[in-house]
Amino acid sequence: MPPEDNRSSLEKAREKLYAVPGTTHADEPDLVAPPPDRGAPRPGLGAPAWKNDTFTTRPKPHKHVRFAMLFFWVALTFFLIAGGTSAYLLFSGTRSVSTARVILTMQGPASVAAGDTVSLLVTITNRNVVPLKNVKLSLVFPKGTRSPSNVLAPLVRTNIDVGTIAPGETVKKQIKSVLFGGQGDTLPIQSTIQFNASGSNATFTKKAAGAVSIVSTPLSVSIDAPASVIPGQVMSIVATVRSNSTKPISGTVLHAVYPAGFTVKESSLSSLGGNFSIGTIAPGQTRVVHIKGVLFGKVGSQQAFQFTVGTATTASSGSIAIAYMTQTATVTFTQPFIATILTVNGGAIGNTTLMPGTNVTVSIAWMNTLTVPVTNARVAVELGGDALVPSSVKSPTGKYQSSTHTVVFSRDTNLALSQFPPGAQGTGTFTFQTLSVASTTEGGVYHPTVTLRSVVSGEYPGQDISVGTTTADMTQKLKLGTLLLLNAYALHATGPFANTGPVPPIANTRTTYTIVWRVHNTLNDVGGATVSANLPTAVTFVGSVSPRDGSVTYNGSTHAVRWSIGNISSNTTRTAMFQVAITPSTSVRGVAPPLLDTTTVTAFDRFAQITVSSLANAVTTTLSHESQYDINSGTVR
């Protein structure tokens, strides 16, 4: 029996590893020893055996791999493959949707002329591996954009339902619009797409922005206005509208915005609310609008006039729907070298309204506002208007030139004006008469006025030491107010009401009368006309009135009778009547007692912009308007 081997398997493996080839241990079989003789026959067999077998090759040792180690390497390999695949899917997003792989571009012209139709090409490319669903394209246009099918219809936004875009697919959409803006403006346009993806409820958004510059406008406007103006002096403004289009433009409108203190006196084209309707303008055509007016303001300050040209909202509208260009003209107030102030009847000319058939006194004061003397100074006032009586003009301190209706103050009438030093002052006066009511009515004068145009001139050194002649003028208008002619009287035998009682009246006996109010408006239309008076305590209001439209009313607590007329046109007469009764007392025997106190009529003159009024004397029982009664018809017996 071999001795017991107590070596561990690890020691045995180490010995085998470091053993010298060809040696064996005593306790181990020789793995390279020759095999047993195979030449001896096996028992029971006749076959010969192999002889001289000298095969001595050692077989390759068999490696024993433990199952745990094999499982470890297989698991590690699977983990590495799965982790790499997950990382690739996570970071490469092969199956996810990314807006970075959605390409949105917008192509169009970089610059256009205002009013041209602009075509924009929007391209959407899907570089994701999954389709984009429910794709919606939206374009937001700048203010003033119009629809190409109807240039008057605003176009704010265009929405297009694109649908589904497959992976790798490119979709193109063409959108047209009409852009408007001022020359040099840059108009932004923004395109946006929104879409969904399979397996997700999220809505993805992609945006792209572009801009188009306006290089020209189909309509342009230029303004010609004075750089400086004297407050209250008539100034002229010329607005020129030009077509830069290659086709006619209809509904052209020029809109004017005037500064505070400016009053339009006349214009070559009528306007409504500052809108001048020019109509259709041909290619290359120009239209000119002349405006004259008076501007008031503080010397040294500035005022701006603004004009905008465009096309109307509708064919019948005068307001601007599309504005092409806006121009501004700035005016500076300057002081005239000789300042003048006019006063009429002792008051400021702006607060004075003349009345028909009256004498008017005008005073004019002048002063040299320069720091140098003015030589050959001349101050003239030219009179005009259809309410003036030219032959009535007289001036005690000046010279009236009847051929030009001008009162002149110069060195011929005032020697001080030949050499007018800085700060020097002077005055002059003249008078004239206004037309009577009869003259204006017979002559068919409507809205009568008197104009006073003051013109100053003189010579003074300029900045370049040269001497020049300068002229400055200012026109002011005086309006003639209307006259309301009021008449009040009593009737007994005539009129619309049946009156009773004795005439002449008898003490302690009741007699009824008809009161007549008659108003005649002479020159200008008036509004809010009313007539009113009070009844004496001894007189009662019977109640019969004419007209029966509710315009004649009576207040029993105040004994006031009121007639609300309203509007009265020029050269028109209106009449009202009402019935009263009186029972005279014995204390008034021998006199004609009053039936109505003083009557007053008031109204607003729409042309002169003033309130006018008139009075009528108290009405008594005297019946002077009925021929069958004598002068004593009203005396109480």
* pLDDT digits 0-9 by tens, 66-90: 667 777 777 778 778 866 655 554 4
Summarize the confidence of residues 594-612 as an average pLDDT.
94
Q: Count H helices, E strands: the chain?
A: 3, 40
Residues 385-403 pLDDT 10s: 989 999 999 999 999 999 9
* pLDDT value of position 121: 92
β-strands 262-267, 286-295 pairing: antiparallel
* Residue 275 pLDDT greater than 70, yes or no: yes
Residues 91-123 pLDDT 10s: 554 467 888 999 999 998 888 877 778 889 999
Of the spans 19-33, 464-478, 493-507, which averages the highest pLDDT?
Answer: 493-507
* pLDDT value of position 85: 57
Summarize the confidence of residues 528-550 as an average pLDDT.
95
Find out whether 377 and 415 touch, Cβ atoms under 8 Å.
Answer: no
* pLDDT value of position 31: 46
Full 3-state SS string of 129-191: CCCEEEEEEEEECCCCCECCCCCCCECCEEEEEEEEECCCCEEEEEEEEECCCCCCCEEEEEE
Task: Enter the pTM of the model.
Answer: 0.52
* Residue 405 pLDDT greater than 90, yes or no: yes
* Residue 571 pLDDT greater than 80, yes or no: yes
The owner of tokens 């029996």 is 1
β-strands 610-616, 286-295 pairing: unpaired
Give the chain's mean pLDDT: 84
More confident residue, 425 or 52: 425
* pLDDT value of position 16: 66
Distance CA 445, CA 385 (A): 11
* pLDDT value of position 111: 84
* Residue 43 pLDDT greater than 70, yes or no: no
Summarize the confidence of residues 519-540 as an average pLDDT.
95
Find out whether 478 and 449 touch, Cβ atoms under 8 Å.
Answer: yes
Q: What percentage of the chain exceeds 70 in pLDDT?
A: 84
* Residue 631 pLDDT greater than 90, yes or no: no
Summarize the confidence of residues 240-245 as an average pLDDT.
87
* pLDDT value of position 382: 94
Q: Is residue 603 very low, low, confident or very high in pLDDT (cuts 50, 70, 90)?
A: very high
Find out whether 167 and 94 touch, Cβ atoms under 8 Å.
Answer: no
Distance CA 7, CA 398 (A): 156
Find out whether 433 and 359 touch, Cβ atoms under 8 Å.
Answer: yes
Is the bond into 504 cis (omega within 30 degrees of 0)? yes
Find out whether 116 and 178 touch, Cβ atoms under 8 Å.
Answer: yes
| Strand, helix or coil for residue 85 | helix
* Residue 551 pLDDT greater than 70, yes or no: yes
Q: What is the dihedral of CA 38, 39, 45, 48, to 10 degrees?
A: 130
* Residue 583 pLDDT greater than 70, yes or no: yes
Write the burial class of residue 69 (CB in 10 Å: 0-12 exposed, 13-18 middle, 19+ buried): exposed
Residues 130-185 pLDDT 10s: 899 999 999 999 887 888 888 767 888 999 999 999 999 999 999 998 887 777 78
What does DSSP assign to residue 416? Answer: G
Q: Is residue 538 very low, low, confident or very high in pLDDT (cuts 50, 70, 90)?
A: very high
* Residue 14 pLDDT greater than 80, yes or no: no
Residues 435-483 pLDDT 10s: 888 877 776 777 889 999 888 888 887 544 445 455 666 778 899 999 9
Q: What percentage of the chain exceeds 90 in pLDDT?
A: 48
* Residue 359 pLDDT greater than 50, yes or no: yes
**Burial annotation 89-119 (CB, 10 A radius, 16+ → b, else e):** eeeeeeeebeeeebebebebeeebbbbbebe
Q: Is residue 506 very low, low, confident or very high in pLDDT (cuts 50, 70, 90)?
A: very high
Give CA 224 to chain center in angstroms. Answer: 23
CB atoms within 10 A of CB 542: 16
Q: Give the chain's domains with CATH numbers.
A: 99-216 (2.60.40.10), 228-333 (2.60.40.10), 338-479 (2.60.40.10), 484-620 (2.60.40)
Q: Is residue 21 very low, low, confident or very high in pLDDT (cuts 50, 70, 90)?
A: low
Q: Hey, what are 154's tokens?
A: 């605003």
Find out whether 357 and 433 touch, Cβ atoms under 8 Å.
Answer: yes
42-51, 191-200, 418-427, 596-605: which has the minimum mean pLDDT? Answer: 42-51
Closest to 300 in 3D by CA, of 371, 236, 228: 228
Q: Is residue 1 very low, low, confident or very high in pLDDT (cuts 50, 70, 90)?
A: very low
177-186, 444-453, 500-509, 611-620: which has the minimum mean pLDDT? Answer: 177-186
* pLDDT value of position 51: 44
